[in-house]
Amino acid sequence: MAALWHSTFFLVMVLLAISRPSLASQAGNDDLQMGTEHRTNKGTVNGTENLITTLPIVTWNWQEIKFPYLVALWILVSWLCKLVFQLNPSLTSVIPESGLLICIGWVLGGIIYWADKVQTFKLQPFIFFFYLLPQIVLDAGYSMPNKLFFSNFGSILVYAVIGTCWNAATLGLALWGCCLGGAIGDIDIGLLQLLLFGSLIAAVDPVAVIAVFEEVHVNEVLYILVFGESLLNDGVTVVLFNVFNAFVSLGGAQINAVEIIKGIISFFVVALGGSLVGVIFALLISLLTRCTKNIQIIEPGFIFILGYLSYLTAEMLSLSAILSCTFCGVCCQKYINANMDKRSVSTLRYVMKVFANGSETIIFVFLGITAIDPSIWVWNTAFILLTLLFIFVFRFIGVFFLTWILNQYRLVPLEFIDQLMMGYGGLRGAVAYGLVVLLDENKYKEKNLMISTTLLVVYFTVMLQGITMKPLVTWLKVKRAAVTERTLAEIIQNRTFDHILVAIEDISGQIGHNYMRDKWNNFEERWLYWLLMTPSARKSCDHIFNIFHKLNLKDAMSYVKEGERRGSLAFVRNETKADVDFNKKFSGNFSAMMPYIMAENMGSDHVPVSSILWDSVHSVCLDMHEKDLKMRESEDFNAHHLLEQHLYRGKKQHRHRYSREYLEVNKDKNEVQEIFQRTMRSRLESFKSAKMGVNPPKKISYHLKKDQPQKMPNGKSTDNRKSHAYGKEDLEFSEGDSASGCEAAGGSFPMRAHRGAGIVNPAFNAEMDPMPAMQQILPWLAEAEVDSSAVVPSQRAQLTLPCTPSNLHRLAPLHLTTHSFLLADSPATQDTSEPPPPPVV
């Protein structure tokens, strides 16, 4: 608490520092405002210029730098406010941050008013719309989880367009009804003006919504619906606002059917046109980032400036600027992320967050400050209360009705609780305020009433609904049963269940093959990648794992091929030691390396991923054995802690999370890569081991000579047809495996000698050095059969078990290849499913 008071005190000091000079400058003009200050002060500066009589050493140049200085100070103050709250987690956990910022805005506004006797600082619509809003919108678009967004695009559009129109219309009509009925009293306001008011206040505000929803963890569909809606309906609101504004200017008498139709047309033109401008700018950005390789330092700057230009251009063409900026961000994110240097991307992301978060903070603080100004307050209890009531009620009605319709079409309907949250999440914010201040006082007699109502609505929704949102979520959604996982068995079992469900979900196709999506993907792959991405980025961008996967397989194959060429896999064997160690401990290095591999090797197919990997692992893991032996003595580690830390998480879908606050350092990614590596290696192994048990030696010797020339082409064609990858793999690994195959009924037993997974073909050991290898294998074999992990061979495998004595195969020449045709019906791959042979010892 002390920290809070200290910081508050500091804030007050800063504030006084700001307001005192403004007091001084108050003499000439009373109603200074931030936007106009600059211009009005120039005259006085010029006037005093000629009065110097001697050379001043230092001068007080306040007037010249006043404007930028105040801006900078205000930004500092707003951010300090945020800092103050973040020192108090207990406070922010109850009241959402946006609410707190508004509160502190009130305090600051109070101080300023007390010092100046007039509200010097206000949130000016111009500043809001041109300097504060664009980066927020751009950031939202850029960090949008695209897949989620577009798979719910229909629903979002329905909510954003129809829902907003519904809210606007019903609020306007209902208020008008109340006016006619005399419930509100004597105010000079007509139906059109009320509709206008309805339209400006209908929009759910992305700034407020994100600020609140970010802290309340809701499921991602709900999140994207509310977020997407709030983003798009800002555009809709502005359009509606302009249309109604024009209607009001025309006057009720001149509005006929033609004008109304024109209004509807202009609505669509403005909205679609704005989106189109955004898409065009996204294309421009993507094209531009194709060739910014040489100026990496300002690379991220292009995105900002072009994003901002998309906003301004749309505004210039009187199209929807918000939609333009949103779509610009949404459309270009994929391509610029692929095109730009990794560092530029992270710079971009961080700077984007800094801007967005910073201006969000400023907006809320100023929303608070603005309120402390008696000149704007016109109190009309009935009007304000009715507005609040109608907003609340009609929002719910709209959401329920639209969801009911949507649920007829959605594969997974929105549940009642989700709908409730959507309705309740209708927070209003600064956009409404910015619009209402834009109104012309001459046309709208009740402008101040509208402003004060809007402010109250904003406060009410942000504060009250924001505060109650979190308890509501916990109360409605899941009872916060504090289930602690007590036993290790439980933890492990739960995590296993997690993984199982994820896998089942993947197998049964989580997102069905959607016709439109397929079409779009084809189009994208065919044309857009070619057009918008640098050739090197093209390979890695979308199916990054896909390609990584292919590369890995290919490398593994070339690895083995290389061994064949050299006549032995001695070099593989050397590295098996590294492999052992690799499993042991140093995966930190391993995973740290992964991004490097991903980034560097996507470009050139010819660098074998695995070679890099193995090399560095090898060099890293020296002397690990000794260390482990020491570790053995100190076994009193906290197993729970360990499990908590190191169990892989189920890959649920919570990674799509937009946050203006945090850029998560994605632990998931490392995990994913680690698991992926292991899976691939264990699969490779099981192909080999499967081969061992099943390949009839006769066939091997039969195809031996014939196939030799075909080998290379075979190997090469592998890459083209992914579905065959495993089969071909077998082909490459098959040779010589039968040497040991006859000794056991298939299974991956020899690998166990090597403690853990690795691209190690033990058969080569046998070949290089037959007798010791046999000795080596046999004890393990014995154990492998005793311990339950031995693979149960398929019936077919048992049928085809080679009956020839083992030494006979070992006499076979080194370069053996099975015919690829065998693979079609060969049971070799049957064992793919076997688990990675773990360290048994």
Partner 1 sequence: MGSTNSTLSKIPNVEELVQETGFTPAHIVRLYDRFEALDKEKTGHLRPQDFGAINRLAINPIGDRIIGAFFSPGQETVDFHSFVRILAHFRPADKKRPKDPSMPEPVNSRTSKLKFAFQLYDQDKDGKISRAELLQVLRSMLEMQVTEEQLESIADRTIQEADLDTDDAISFEEFRKVPPGGALRLTYQHGALTQIRFIIVKNYVRFDNGKQAMKGNRYLKFTLPC
Of residues 647-706, which lie at the interface with partner 1 (CB under 8 A)? Answer: 647-655, 657, 671-672, 674-676, 678-680, 682-683, 686
Tokens of 802: 């080679």
Q: Which of 590, 614, 733, 749 binds partner 1 (CB under 8 A)?
A: 590
CA distance 798 to 742: 10
Count of other CB atoms within 10 angstroms of residue 23? 14
| Given 305, 570, 712, 792, the residue binding partner 1 (CB under 8 A) | 792
> Which residues between 271 and 330 bind partner 1 (CB under 8 A)?
none
Which of 195, 755, 700, 213 minimizes the C-alpha distance to 461? 213
Which residue, 312 or 417, has its beta carbon nearer to partner 1?
417
In contact, 757 and 583? CB cutoff 8 Å: yes
Nearer to partner 1, 180 or 405 (CB): 405
Q: How far apart are CA 327 and CA 307, in angstroms?
A: 10
Pick 775 or 788: Cβ nearer partner 1: 788
Residue among 256 and 510 whose Cβ is closer to partner 1: 510
- Interface residues for partner 1 in 146-165 (CB under 8 A)? 148, 151-155
Please give the torsion angle defined by the CA atoms of residues 291, 293, 299 and 303, in that order, rounded to the nearest 10 degrees.
30
Rounded to whole angstroms, the Cα distance separating 536 from 137 reads 30
> Among 820, 799, 828, 809, which residue's Cα sits nearest to residue 690?
828
- Rank residues 200 and 784 by Cβ distance to partner 1 and give the closer one: 784
How many other C-beta atoms are found inside a 10 Å radius of the C-beta of residue 379? 11
Give least dist CB 666 to partner 1, A.
Answer: 11
- For partner 1, which residue of 110, 413, 603, 770 counts as binding (CB under 8 A)? 413
CB of 558 vs partner 1, minimal distance in Å? 20
Residues 61-100 that bind partner 1 (CB under 8 A): none
Q: For partner 1, which is the closer residue by CB, 603 or 838? A: 838
**Nearest Cα to 88, choosing from 97, 79, 75?**
97
Residue 726 near partner 1 by CB under 8 A? yes
Least separation in angstroms between CB 218 and partner 1: 8
- Residue 674: its H or E element: helix 667-694
Taking the complex as a whole, the smallest distance from the CB of residue 722 to partner 1 amounts, in Å, to: 7
User: Closer to partner 1 at the Cβ: 770 or 836?
Assistant: 836
**Rule CB under 8 A: which of 37-66 touch partner 1?**
none
Nearer to partner 1, 347 or 670 (CB): 670
Pick the binder of partner 1 from 30, 440, 506, 600 (CB under 8 A): 506
Min dist CB 444 to partner 1, Å, is 40
Greatest alpha-carbon span in the chain: 114
Residue 220 is a binding residue for partner 1 (CB under 8 A): yes
Contact between 168 and 134 (Cβ < 8 Å)? no
What the block records as the tokens of 190 is: 């007509």
Q: Cβ of residue 481: shortest distance to partner 1, in angstroms? A: 6
Span interacting with partner 1, options 144-152, 317-325, 340-348, 774-782, rule CB under 8 A: 144-152
Cβ(609)–Cβ(559) below 8 Å: no
d(CA 448, CA 441): 8
* Phi-psi sector, 129: left (phi>0), alpha (psi -120 to 50), beta: alpha
| 608's tokens | 């074998």
Q: For residues 77 and 364, is the Cβ–Cβ distance under 8 A?
A: no
Select the residue interacting with partner 1 from 82, 755, 809, 819 (CB under 8 A): 755
Question: Which CB atom, from 577 or from 655, has the smaller least distance to partner 1?
Answer: 655
Nearer to partner 1, 668 or 743 (CB): 668
Choose one: 78-86, 395-403, 711-719, 825-833; the region binding partner 1 (CB under 8 A). Answer: 825-833
**Tally of residues, the chain:** 841
Residue with tokens 């041109």: 130
529, 567, 466, 604: which is closest to 92 by C-alpha? 466
Show contacts with partner 1 in window 223-262 (CB under 8 A): 224
List binders of partner 1 among 614-653 (CB under 8 A). 628, 631-632, 635, 637, 639, 642-643, 645-653
Q: Does 750 bind partner 1 (CB under 8 A)?
A: no
Residue among 143 and 583 whose Cβ is closer to partner 1: 583
- The CB density around residue 28, as the number of other CB atoms within 10 Å, is 10
What tokens appear for 130 in the block?
Answer: 């041109």
Compute the least distance from the CB of residue 224 to partner 1, in Å.
Answer: 8
Tell whether residue 416 is a contact of partner 1 (CB under 8 A): no
Between 509 and 713, CB nearer to partner 1: 509
C-beta closer to partner 1: residue 377 or 586: 586
Q: How far apart are the first and last CA of the chain?
A: 55
Q: b/e for 479-516, b at 16 or more Cβ within 10 A?
A: eeeeeeeeeeeebeeebeebbeebeeeeeeeeeeeeee
The CA-atom distances, in angstroms, between 39 and each of 71, 116, 162 are 15, 20, 43
Work out which of 504, 531, 570, 782 binds partner 1, going by CB under 8 A: 504
**CB-based contact 369:122 (threshold 8 Å):** yes
Site for partner 1 in 438-497 (CB under 8 A): 474, 477-478, 480-481, 483, 487-490, 492-497
730 or 737, CB closer to partner 1? 730
Q: Which of 195, 790, 801, 816 binds partner 1 (CB under 8 A)?
A: 790
Q: Rounded to the nearest whole angstrom, what is the least distance from the CB of residue 742 to partner 1 in the complex? A: 20
Residues 513-572 that bind partner 1 (CB under 8 A): 513-516, 543, 545-546, 549
CB of 248 to partner 1, least distance (A): 36
Q: How many CB atoms lie within 10 A of CB 177?
A: 14
Touching partner 1, residues 178-207 (CB under 8 A): none
Which window, 174-182, 213-221, 438-446, 695-703, contacts partner 1 (CB under 8 A)?
Answer: 213-221
The site that binds partner 1 (CB under 8 A) totals a number of residues, namely 125
Smallest gap from residue 234 Cβ to partner 1 (A): 22
* Residue 232 Ramachandran class (φ > 0 left, ψ -120 to 50 alpha, else beta): alpha
Query: Which residue, 219 or 806, is less far from partner 1 as judged by CB?
Result: 219
Per-residue three-class SS string for 258-299: HHHHHHHHHHHHHHHHHHHHHHHHHHHHHHHHHCCHHHCCCH
